Amino acid sequence: MATIGQIIFGSMIAIIFILAGIIILILATSLGGNAGSMVESRFKFPVGNLDGDVMLDCKFIAVDSAYSAPKFTIEATGQAATLKAVAQRWYPKPTVSWTDFNGANLTGETEFSNNSAGIFKVTSVLKTVKVDDSYDCIIENALVKSVSNALVTDSGVTEKNYFKMNSAALPLPHWLIFSFHFPLWTYWILS
């Protein structure tokens, strides 16, 4: 027969489990994408061993989501041209880097502004770009990485974007991991 202390402890565990589920539901609905997002993988049916780790090869393509790919504009002044990238929605605050077609690091000027919800707008400018060259703008934080390739032409900018989710950067808290084993803990405590 269970003691009062065991029943109270089991009830507290149940409350923690319910709260963890509510937190997961809130995070999933607020940070999750919408119908305009999708995940692509080379492998239709990944294979793994029970109790083993599996590395899933997939990329996240966001059409309209909590993360936005930058939109590029080109401004020509005389012989010099400036490439501007503006990404409307990022959270948490990302870092921005630029590379040329050879992969050499370039220096851009980046500004961040955020709204009342803490969502950041990223504006980054790369000066002295050349026509018929391509440049990569990499925007990333602990959750996601956006790689955008901009090809500068006489008629404007052609762009390609892709996203990569960094799921390994988000370990679950220990209390949440233990809450997934609630039925086992309850059985062990009450028996």
| pLDDT tens per residue, range 39-87 | 666 767 777 787 787 777 666 554 445 688 999 999 877 667 899 999 9
CATH of the domain at 116: 2.60.40.10
Q: Which position has the higher pLDDT, 44 or 189?
A: 44
Return the amino acid letter for 144: V
Quote the tokens at residue 126: 């790369």
Host domain of residue 81:
58-169
Q: Is the pLDDT of residue 94 over 90?
A: yes
- Do 178 and 136 share a structural domain? no
Same domain, 104 and 75: yes
* DSSP-assigned letters across all residues of 135-185: EEEEEE-SSEEEEEEEEEETTEEEEEEEEEE-GGG-PPPHHHHHHTTHHHH
Per-residue confidence band for 38, with pLDDT thresholds at 50, 70 and 90: low
Instruction: Say yes or no: 65 and 123 in one domain.
Output: yes
> Average pLDDT, whole number, for the chain?
77
- Of the chain, the percentage scoring pLDDT greater than 90 comes to 34
Which one has a higher pLDDT value, 64 or 1?
1
Q: Answer yes or no: do 62 and 128 share one domain.
A: yes
Shared domain check, 67 and 160? yes
**Same domain as 181, residue 155:** no
Query: Are 157 and 69 within one domain?
Result: yes
Q: At what angle do helices 182-190 and 4-31 cross, to 10 degrees?
A: 180
Residue of 171 and 58 predicted with greater confidence: 58
Residue 48 falls inside a structural domain: no
DSSP state of 45: S
Same domain, 73 and 144: yes
The stretch 87-93 carries a mean pLDDT of 92
If you search the block for the tokens 């018929």, which residue do you land on?
132
Residue 89 is assigned to a structural domain of this protein: yes
